[in-house]
Structure 1
């Protein structure tokens, strides 16, 4: 493929990462965008595709319960660090070579994960996989907004929004199917062929800017290290906190202090460094700041909601991976339906109206989940999933437009990295909080149910006697039948308490989305035809 013609100003500054997208044909644009969007899908789905296979991975590598959680934690910690760093690397290496390196190393690390010989090698490979894969996510957003304009640009947030929500939604389902059919190692091997394809196609097709290697000599290593300590420490606290009773654990305390110190140093270098690796200048625009807050809330609802339903079906209903996948697949279908509708509305209606409708509808969908009973299955979950999944597209599409619509050039890259970081941070915070709420809520409801049974001792004794009589047909030992009846009643009470805790969590999440509506009036949609110059910093 021939090199892409640069704009006239490029001749005066041969190292500048600018080009004229109008010189590209539509076929070239869509080819570049499709390759990069598929790479983003790979990186995002790999966050959740391993979730349903952790028990098999643990058994296969003879790992302990505390060790196996690091298969996910290591990936997320490393990915969070790369997402904001990718804007700097895209300018230094060019979009073409950053994305090709990211896809290639992601493919190699996936193969190493599949070949892992112990838990230590798996955790190390997952950290590399998350770090290199994290570069693909914000780079696609920035490239899409650079390549397209007008009505074509309006489809970018819809398509990438669909990828962003469909990947984590399908991840557990796909992971469960692959593990059942071929074994857990194929959850990683499945990335090799598509990853190699994306790498090769990126090298051949993605020629949209020039590298500036001199930037690599000016890396502020203190800035990079402080950001890594801050984000990795934050992710560690959020992932491990619910499992270890938060700040009663000394490791959580150390992680929190490191995150705070890293954050303060990161801010100091952001404002005072002569060559910061992450520019916070996009936050000067209030609309971008509010859009990031929206994305934090959306990430909270998206990842926590995607996490909670399979958890409910597994722990309360006792579903296996295949049954869970069949129950939640309707959410992906509703998201696909929402793509063209949300894109069309964002072009014709004030984006603030669209996001108001999306947040309200999302809150309503979460509220529908708050009426769950232990008997809920596919039929009962159908409409709550459809409403919530359709609404998420009405939230994401306008929030992307509000966040990135006023940026061009290098500033667009930094804005994309920060914006995507907020969604992932919202998901990390969301999963940590809902785990804590579930644990506390289940204990509280179990205590209340126990007190209620104590106040109605006669009715409880009658139920226990009836269960003992029925179990007497299984075992002639009366004492053993009575113990079995008590155990069954305890499980029933535990299941009811856990279900009530799920209901409380969904209700709290609904309140959060309603509260987010307060920010809508403060946003100003990007004005058509008022984009800053392409080389703006």
Structure 2
């Protein structure tokens, strides 16, 4: 099941470093190609909270097997896509069919394991949940560089088939209950799908189209707001809702969802910002970007035995506080970024972030879901996992808006100092003109070339300062989260019945 969750999670980001290659191969523009990512995210974010109800209807093993089979088939279809429209459709199906695998792993682990085994299981699952999207750009860049973009999807076929066959044979957690199909809250499902789908579209496309100045973005935002309010009202009113929002009354669950949301911001926004910086400012290709960000995953893997050692000896709340604090420190380190940062300069902040992810995600899982009874676990797990993805979507949208708005501001502030009274600038322009004339350019062309070069350098520095601003915003989120950790209660897990009893 962890193998299935890993391939579903890594596919969120595996195409991010290779969108240009996919667009080129399918003769599509940048706007259309962006939907290869957006379609997957919209579909996945809709199905994740539905997975609890679906697993009660179909049973855990058959829902997981069907999800793995659908994910594998649509991976093949994505590799065989003949134009951008077919690719977008297959990516949406891939996200919708594969999304159920993610929360089912969490619920099954808490049913199967107890005591120290539960700590180890949560550690492994938490590591995968944060490691898979972190490795996505690196794996995607490597595959595209040594082969073609088609193998971004072909690589899913063998593990997908393995999971499809193995899960029905090995996983025995519960039994299907088709009676739940009668009288289910289908209106609530529709409201939730409209709410989450429109919200994800608004967050993904808003920064690109200047938010509410675009009529489509304004419309989807209003639909998301209205359907969201109606969905919450209906979920609290009826006896058997699709998503257990009442679980938010429990302090640990509410705080855990908040921490899941904030770690989603940190993981996904940083994955978005770092490759973007290396591409825009440093001019790195897909493989170089992947190699530069790979160190985060390495240090997270190294932190797994450290967490396993601490988790059975130290209160999980203090480990969580350490993880959130270290994540904030890594964002502070990132904020000193300069235009010449590469893999060497990124090593320390990424090492801290990798260690922090392992210290933050597993204890959040255990403290949030560990005290829930199996009856509530399925519906609550979907909401918990949804919060991480929503955090990622909102974090990326916020960072994209910061990059759009603050770059122009920094550029204008830098340009204010680039005037005739700036002796350093005058000497630089004169030297550049002399060099250009020495290469055979006339005086007028040399002067224009010098000004163009000055504009490029100023824009590069403005972009770099804006990336620093975005990292500082993320740091503030983790500072707030760190201060809230003491409000969580120590978890005493409920007695666990055997797997056969389910």
Give the 5 Å matches for 1:82-231. Answer: 82-231=47-196
Which secondary structure does the structure 1 equivalent of 2:260 belong to? Answer: helix
Among residues 431, 453, 473, which one is paired with 2:396 in the alignment? 431
Looking at structure 2, the residues matched to 493 and 456 of structure 1 have their Cα atoms a distance apart, in angstroms, of: 17
Contact 2:112 2:498 in 1 (8 A): no
DSSP-derived class of the 1:244 partner: coil
Note the residue ranges of structure 1 that are not aligned, 5 or more in a row.
1-35
Pair 1:418-2:383 in alignment? yes
2:413 aligns with 448
Deviation track 1:407-432 (CA, whole Å, cap 9, x = no partner) reads 12231111211111111100001000
SS of corresponding position for 1:278: coil
Question: Where do 1:56-455 residues align within 5 Å?
Answer: 56-454=21-419
Report the Cα distance in structure 2 between the residues aligned to 1:389 and 1:87, rounded to whole angstroms: 30
Cα deviation 1:325-349 (Å, max 9, x = unaligned): 2211111111011112223322211
Contact in 1 for aligned 2:328/2:478 (Cα 8 Å):
yes
Deviations 1:487-535 (A, max 9, x none): 111111111111111111112211221111232121102125x448899
Question: What is the Cα deviation at residue 162 of structure 1?
Answer: 1.0
1:518 paired with 2:492, answer no
- Structure number with the bigger relative contact order (C-alpha 8 A, sep ≥ 6) is 2
SS state at 2:312 partner: helix
Aligned 8 A contact 1:408 1:534 in 2? no
Number of aligned residue pairs: give it: 500
What is the CA RMSD across the aligned residues, in angstroms? 1.7
The two structures have a TM-score, normalised by structure 2, of 0.96
Separation in structure 2 between the aligned mates of residue 257 and residue 136 of structure 1, nearest angstrom: 31
Shift of 1:79: 0.5
Contact 2:242 2:379 in 1 (8 A): no
CA contact (8 A) 2:199 2:221 kept: yes
Q: TM-score, normalised by structure 1?
A: 0.90
The alpha-carbon deviation at position 249 of structure 1 amounts to: 0.7
The answer (yes or no) to whether the contact 2:296–2:350 under 8 Å persists in 1 is: yes
Whether the aligned pair in 2 keeps the contact of 1:103 and 1:132 (CA below 8 Å) is yes
**Is the 1:407–1:532 Cα contact (8 Å) retained in structure 2?**
no
Alignment deviations for residues 448-501 of structure 1 (CA, whole Å, 9 cap, x no partner): 110011274333222111111112233332222222211111111111111111
Alpha-carbon offset, residue 258 of structure 1 = 0.7
Q: CA deviation at 1:54?
A: 1.0
Q: Secondary structure at the match of 2:419?
A: helix
Farther off after superposition, 207-216 or 285-294: 207-216
Say if 1:87 and 1:410, in contact at 8 Å, map to a contact too. no
Query: Partners of 2:29 and 2:288 in 1: how far apart?
Result: 27
